[in-house]
């Protein structure tokens, strides 16, 4: 997609954080769009800020029928769709032994199934028009998962595998896929568990800016990049696929022993 000007986009998880910044950056580039998340009031406020061409679509991405209905409503109102950003997500960190499986189920439903529901509800439209782009917001944890984030990392790895396969599967269709690997970004993702974050987690003032990530994502769409890692150092986690021991050694250096306690 060489330019976003005049295009129409749907962003999930648009009420705050990374999704809201992507929606703002997209509107600044002249693209109209749908804003999907559960918080209707926040979406309405953002739609008012972005102008007439923004549509609030309150829905839970973990509810397949609700996602399908929101997409149908958006297509009817906007008349088309060029860019889909599957970004909505939640995080629950903690040692698996003490973690309720309900939290793993919730992350699976929102992060992974929510991505599949969003893509499946929109893909036919893009392929029929032989044009479009899908962005899937995974995580550095999808490249190499960390202790206390086993369940979260699993959902992010699922998104990565899904996006990688889809990019190849759609080759020649006119529809493309970009996967996003954020590092620690200053958002509200961990507000509910700030007191219990693992030692290796830095966040806080060291977290990167969501607006800069959003700009990098839209640049990657315009250049049809396979992936975006932001900050760039996150790409080093991909070494895990080649040499887990090397990746562990780098991670220990950057984040300390709690991020990679085993040395075998």
Ligand X SMILES: NC(=O)c1ccc[n+]([C@@H]2O[C@H](COP(=O)([O-])OP(=O)(O)OC[C@H]3O[C@@H](n4cnc5c(N)ncnc54)[C@H](OP(=O)(O)O)[C@@H]3O)[C@@H](O)[C@H]2O)c1
The contact set with ligand X (CB under 6 A) reads: 12-19, 37-39, 42, 60-62, 87-91, 110-111, 137, 139, 182, 184-185, 187-189
Compare residues 116 and 127 and give the one whose CB is closer to ligand X.
116
Compare residues 93 and 132 and give the one whose CB is closer to ligand X.
93
Q: What Cα–Cα distance (Å) separates residue 44 from each residue in 34, 77, 126?
A: 11, 16, 26
Q: How far is the CB of 65 from ligand X (least distance, A)?
A: 13
Compare residues 135 and 189 and give the one whose CB is closer to ligand X.
189
Helices (H), the chain: 17-28, 40-50, 64-78, 101-107, 114-128, 150-169, 210-222, 244-255
Catalytic choice (117, 152, 181, 230): 152
Distance of alpha carbon 61 from alpha carbon 79, whole angstroms: 22
Q: Are strands 8-12 and 227-230 parallel, antiparallel or unpaired?
A: unpaired
Q: How far is the CB of 19 from ligand X (least distance, A)?
A: 5
Q: Is 152 a catalytic residue?
A: yes
Q: How far is the CB of 24 from ligand X (least distance, A)?
A: 13
Asked whether 152 and 141 are in contact (CB, 8 A), the reply is yes
Compare residues 111 and 122 and give the one whose CB is closer to ligand X.
111
Q: What Cα–Cα distance (Å) separates residue 31 from each residue in 86, 215, 218?
A: 17, 14, 11
Q: How far is the CB of 214 from ligand X (least distance, A)?
A: 10
Please calculate the CA angle 218-123-217 and round it to the nearest 5 degrees: 10
Q: Which of 3, 4, 12, 8 is nearest to 180 (CA)?
A: 12
Q: Which two tokens stand for residue 72?
A: 């149908």
Catalytic residues: 152
């Amino acid at each position: 997609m060489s330019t976003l000007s005049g295009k129409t986009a749907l962003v999930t998880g648009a009420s705050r954080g990374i999704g809201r910044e992507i929606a703002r950056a997209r509107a600044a580039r002249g693209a109209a769009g749908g804003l999907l998340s559960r918080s209707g009031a926040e979406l309405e406020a953002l739609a008012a800020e972005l102008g007439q061409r923004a549509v609030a679509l309150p829905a839970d991405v973990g509810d397949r029928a609700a996602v399908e209905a929101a997409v149908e409503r958006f297509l009817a109102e906007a008349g088309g769709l060029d860019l889909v950003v599957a970004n909505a997500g939640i995080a629950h960190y903690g040692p698996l032994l003490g973690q309720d499986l309900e939290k793993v189920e919730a992350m699976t439903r929102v992060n992974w199934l929510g991505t599949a529901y969003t893509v499946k509800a929109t893909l036919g439209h893009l392929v029929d028009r032989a044009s479009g782009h899908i962005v899937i917001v995974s995580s550095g944890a999808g490249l190499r998962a960390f202790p206390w984030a086993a369940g979260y990392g699993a959902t992010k790895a699922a998104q990565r595998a899904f996006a990688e396969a889809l990019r190849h599967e759609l080759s020649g269709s006119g529809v493309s896929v970009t996967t996003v690997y954020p590092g620690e970004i200053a958002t509200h993702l961990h507000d509910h568990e700030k007191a219990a974050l693992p030692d290796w987690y830095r966040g806080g003032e060291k977290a990167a800016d969501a607006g800069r990530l959003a700009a990098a994502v839209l640049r990657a769409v315009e250049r049809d990049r396979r992936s975006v890692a932001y900050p760039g150092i996150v790409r080093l986690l991909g070494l895990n696929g080649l040499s887990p021991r090397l990746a562990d050694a780098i991670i220990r250096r950057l984040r300390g022993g709690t991020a990679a306690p085993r040395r075998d």
